[in-house]
Amino acid sequence: MTDVEKLLDARILIVDDSSLVRLYYRDALQKAGCEVEQAINGIEAMEKVLAQKFDLVIVDVNMPRMDGFSFLRALRRGAPDVATLPALVITTEADAQDIDDARAAGGNFYLIKPISQPDLLRHVAVLTGAPT
């Protein structure tokens, strides 16, 4: 663990329908000192975002029942404390359409999966404003 040890106190919501992806991200984020919650689709993500305070949401695009873009659009329409939540969007495609969609839906940054733990932590550090 290098220059991202100071991620303490960041509360992060991981939204992905793959349990192994959630486990992988959680593993890295908890070791870096973050508190982590999970959700498997956009509806659960919305419930958790409304019930608890987070510093960042990491959201996959492809999930059943409510995909990542739909969740982001609903998030940005919400009350101010929720609508401004930074969002790291994870897509499977590098194509321009997905990037445009991610921005249009209200994502702050996007990454293409599969992501490595160091890459994830670097981006989380930036998006939570942690000192690096």
Partner 1 sequence: MTRAQGHRPGGIHVSQEDVRRLCEFVYRRTGMWFADNKRYYVDRRLAERIAATGADSFLAYFSLLRSDANHEIQHLVNAFTVNETYFYREEHQLRCMTSDLLPSIVHGKKAGEPIRIWSIPCATGEEPYSIAIWLMENWSEVDRYNIEIVGSDIDTRALEAATIGIYGERALNRLPPSVIGRYFQPAGVDAYRIDPGLTNSIQFTRANLVDVEDMRRYRDFDIAFCRNVLIYFDDTSRRSAAESLYDCLCPGGYICLGHSETMSRISPLFRVCRFSDAIVYQRPEHADDGR
Partner 2 sequence: MPFIKSKLTQEAAPQASGASQIAALSSPDVDTRWRAARALGGNQEAVAALATALAGERVPRVRQAIITALVRTGDDASVAALLPYLRSQDAGQRSAAIEALQELPEGILPFMTSLLSDSDSDVRLLAAELVRNFPAVHATRLLCGLLEQEQHANVCAAAVDVLAEIGTPEAFPALHACAERFAGTPFLSFAVSIAIARISDAKG
Give the interface with partner 2 as residue ranges (CB under 8 A): 18-21, 23-24, 27, 41, 61-70, 92-93, 97, 101, 113-117
Question: Cβ closer to partner 1: 6 or 77?
Answer: 77
Question: Cβ closer to partner 1: 19 or 92?
Answer: 19
CB 59 → partner 1: shortest distance, Å? 14
All residues at 6 or more sequence positions from 67 whose CB lies less than 8 Å from its CB, including other chains:
41, 42, 61
Q: What is the largest CA-CA distance in the chain?
A: 38
Residue 38 contact, options partner 1, partner 2, none, Cβ 5-8 Å cut-off depending on partner type: partner 1
Dihedral over Cα of 49, 73, 85, 55: its sign: positive
- The total of other beta-carbon atoms located within 10 Å of residue 93's CB is 13
Helices (H) and strands (E) in the chain, counts: 6, 5
Nearest to 71 by CA among 13, 126, 11: 13
Question: Cβ closer to partner 1: 45 or 89?
Answer: 45
Question: Cβ closer to partner 2: 37 or 101?
Answer: 101
Can you give the length of the chain in residues? 132
Q: What residue ranges bind partner 1 (CB under 8 A)?
A: 19, 38-41, 43-44, 46-47, 50-51, 65-66
Residue 50 contact, options partner 1, partner 2, none, Cβ 5-8 Å cut-off depending on partner type: partner 1
